[in-house]
């Protein structure tokens, strides 16, 4: 055979070898799902920065997450060098740009510091719940259900949560086998009450207790709404209601499931507080709510009712309007509910006016998975940060924005078994655990530079924000905070927990 006839043979053998390697390796979901073709993505990614620098977008342009932000998550998740060289390529002169005021004499952590960054408040202390506890981690994983995410993705998040000592919120789809890999859970009760409903779809305390019986549920979250689709219910089409999903949700297999836009168990704030108390009394664990912020009267009425009764939610998760979702109509994702920085101060203010801000635990979510955003949230009064899409990035999401189609190429937000197969939960759990640890570490480093032993002690007076006219404005004014709630008493109250633990 002439030598040139060997060329196609060798090329063919190389291609077959590559296909076999791609299918067998467990590191890259894209290659497992798209052998050979998937390599193109890596090649383009490698030369992408150079191409884009001249032709398309810069490092801070893309949304929801810019390339710089994604790069930071990917590098942190892989334990790679996440430093940036040659100085910033941001525009510190742009309106809204935050600057943190570091100290001339930063805080030096003790030599025996173990690197942990627990919360500075105790969940359930105000109401004396038997299961009150101090969350081990300031950063935790947001609600994302099995259904919106694939089984391997949920497993990776749960294993990663266990690794990083975080809480893993189940989302509104109940508890599945994928949630049982060692990570502590927050069980979310959405409007469909999945995992906590009777045959007619109404809330059932017995079903809730049954779901929790053999699962490490540390707290319960009643979801009123989420930032990307407030005031909306949802539909899970029959084709997606597999046996596994049906079991986790407590619904029949292969039948379309509707979740309404609101809970049917209570109709007003007093009813919500009673519902919280009923669940807390039966389960013993802290119970909170999650909501996006629209009408403000709700928060004032809630805080007043809590102050009057001494009961009610142990924590309030405030989700910014910029939050993520598996699927939502554009107008809801784009225009309904306040963005986090507008929303949170109003909620904090409502609780503070009723004297509850030192005791209620505030959880923040909505693009807070990056150090500057998280630090500003903490300074505004947030006690726990929850990350959703950032955790998805850490397990391989490439921001393809196909969650609503079921065709997520990385196997994260899909129920397609062929695509989900590409995501190796063991490998990806290490990544998400490493990202969460790196994030906490970077937050702590910033707090130390600002003179504190804990990130929750960062105050808004230590932050300046570039105003429209180009001048730097104190964050207290730029964010519309009420100075009365951000005095030394707030720090003293947090220091008590930091000192005495819990």
Ligand X SMILES: Cc1cc2nc3c(=O)[nH]c(=O)nc-3n(C[C@H](O)[C@H](O)[C@H](O)COP(=O)(O)O)c2cc1C
Which spans of this chain sit near ligand X (rule: CB under 6 A)?
A: 142-145, 148-149, 171-172, 188, 223, 226-227, 290, 319, 323-326, 365-367, 369, 387-390, 403, 413
What is the helix (H) or strand (E) element at residue 139, kind and residue range?
A: strand 139-141
Handedness of CA 141, 143, 145, 150 (dihedral sign): negative
Nearest CB to ligand X, comparing residues 386 and 498: 386
Name the minimum Å distance from CB 65 to ligand X: 9
Nearest CB to ligand X, comparing residues 391 and 430: 391
Contact between residue 230 and residue 196 where contact means Cβ atoms under 8 Å apart: no
Distance CA(451)–CA(458), nearest Å, equals 8
Nearest CB to ligand X, comparing residues 129 and 389: 389
Nearest CB to ligand X, comparing residues 30 and 148: 148
* CB atoms closer than 10 angstroms to residue 27: 12
Name the minimum Å distance from CB 219 to ligand X: 14
Contact between residue 167 and residue 221 where contact means Cβ atoms under 8 Å apart: no
Name the minimum Å distance from CB 178 to ligand X: 14
At residue 466, φ and ψ (nearest 5 deg) are -65, 125
Name the minimum Å distance from CB 208 to ligand X: 16
Nearest CB to ligand X, comparing residues 250 and 459: 250
Helices (H) and strands (E) in the chain, counts: 17, 13
Nearest CB to ligand X, comparing residues 49 and 231: 231
Name the minimum Å distance from CB 141 to ligand X: 9
Distance CA(250)–CA(245), nearest Å, equals 8
Contact between residue 490 and residue 357 where contact means Cβ atoms under 8 Å apart: yes
Name the minimum Å distance from CB 143 to ligand X: 4
Name the minimum Å distance from CB 86 to ligand X: 29
Distance CA(231)–CA(289), nearest Å, equals 15
What is the helix (H) or strand (E) element at residue 168, kind and residue range?
A: strand 167-169
Nearest CB to ligand X, comparing residues 232 and 479: 232
Straight-line distance from the first to the last Cα atom of the chain, in angstroms, rounded to the nearest whole number: 78
Name the minimum Å distance from CB 289 to ligand X: 10
Nearest CB to ligand X, comparing residues 312 and 369: 369
Distance CA(219)–CA(373), nearest Å, equals 25
Handedness of CA 146, 147, 152, 154 (dihedral sign): negative
Nearest CB to ligand X, comparing residues 157 and 450: 157
Name the minimum Å distance from CB 69 to ligand X: 11
* CB atoms closer than 10 angstroms to residue 295: 7
Distance CA(156)–CA(70), nearest Å, equals 19
Name the minimum Å distance from CB 454 to ligand X: 22
Give the closest residue to 340 by CA, choosing from 318, 311, 320: 320
Which own/partner pairs from 86-89 qualify as long-range (CB within 8 Å, at least 24 positions apart)?
89/58, 89/59, 89/60
Q: What is the SS3 assignment for 325?
A: coil
Nearest CB to ligand X, comparing residues 249 and 452: 249
């Amino acid at each position: 055979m002439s030598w040139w006839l060997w060329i196609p043979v060798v090329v063919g053998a190389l291609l077959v070898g590559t296909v076999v390697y791609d299918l067998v390796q467990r590191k890259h979901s894209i290659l497992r799902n798209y052998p050979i073709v998937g390599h193109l993505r890596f090649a383009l990614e490698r030369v992408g920065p150079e191409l884009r620098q001249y032709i398309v977008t810069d490092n801070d342009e893309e949304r929801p997450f810019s390339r710089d932000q994604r790069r930071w998550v990917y590098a942190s998740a892989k334990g790679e060098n996440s430093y940036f060289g040659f100085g910033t390529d941001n525009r510190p002169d742009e309106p809204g740009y935050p600057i943190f005021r570091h100290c001339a004499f930063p805080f030096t952590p003790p030599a025996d510091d173990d690197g942990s960054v627990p919360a500075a408040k105790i969940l359930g202390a105000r109401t004396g719940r038997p299961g009150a506890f101090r969350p081990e981690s300031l950063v935790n994983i947001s609600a994302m259900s099995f259904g919106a995410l694939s089984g391997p993705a949920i497993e990776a998040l749960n294993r990663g949560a266990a690794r990083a000592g975080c809480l893993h919120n189940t989302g509104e789809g109940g508890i599945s086998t994928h949630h049982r890999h060692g990570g502590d859970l927050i069980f979310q009760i959405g409007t469909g009450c999945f995992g906590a409903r009777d045959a007619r779809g109404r809330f059932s305390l017995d079903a809730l207790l049954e779901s929790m019986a053999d699962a490490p549920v540390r707290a319960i979250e009643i979801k009123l709404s989420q930032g990307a689709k407030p005031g909306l219910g949802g539909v899970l089409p029959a084709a997606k209601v597999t046996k596994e999903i049906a079991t986790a949700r407590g619904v029949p297999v292969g039948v379309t499931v509707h979740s309404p836009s609101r809970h049917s168990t209570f109709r007003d704030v007093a009813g919500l507080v009673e519902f919280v108390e009923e669940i807390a009394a039966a389960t013993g664990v802290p119970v909170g709510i999650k909501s996006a912020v629209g009408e403000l009267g709700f928060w004032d009425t809630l805080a007043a009712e809590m102050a009057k009764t001494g009961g009610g939610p142990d924590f309030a998760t405030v989700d910014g309007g910029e939050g993520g979702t598996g699927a939502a109509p554009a107008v809801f994702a784009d225009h309904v509910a306040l963005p986090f920085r507008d929303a949170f101060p109003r909620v904090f203010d409502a609780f503070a006016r009723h004297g509850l801000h030192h005791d209620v635990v505030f959880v923040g979510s909505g693009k807070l998975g990056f150090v500057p955003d998280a630090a500003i949230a903490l300074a505004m009064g947030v006690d726990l940060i929850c990350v959703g899409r950032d955790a998805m990035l850490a397990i391989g999401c490439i921001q393809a924005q196909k969650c609503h189609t079921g065709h997520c190429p990385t196997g994260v937000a899909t129920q397609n078994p062929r695509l989900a197969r590409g995501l190796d939960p063991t490998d990806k759990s290490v990544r998400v655990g490493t990202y969460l640890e790196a994030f906490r570490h970077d937050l702590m480093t910033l707090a130390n530079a600002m003179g504190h032993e804990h990130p929750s002690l960062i105050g808004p007076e230590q932050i300046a924000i570039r105003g429209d006219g180009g001048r730097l404005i104190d964050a207290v004014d730029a964010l519309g905070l009420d100075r009365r709630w951000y005095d030394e008493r707030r720090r003293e109250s947090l220091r008590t927990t930091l000192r005495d633990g819990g």
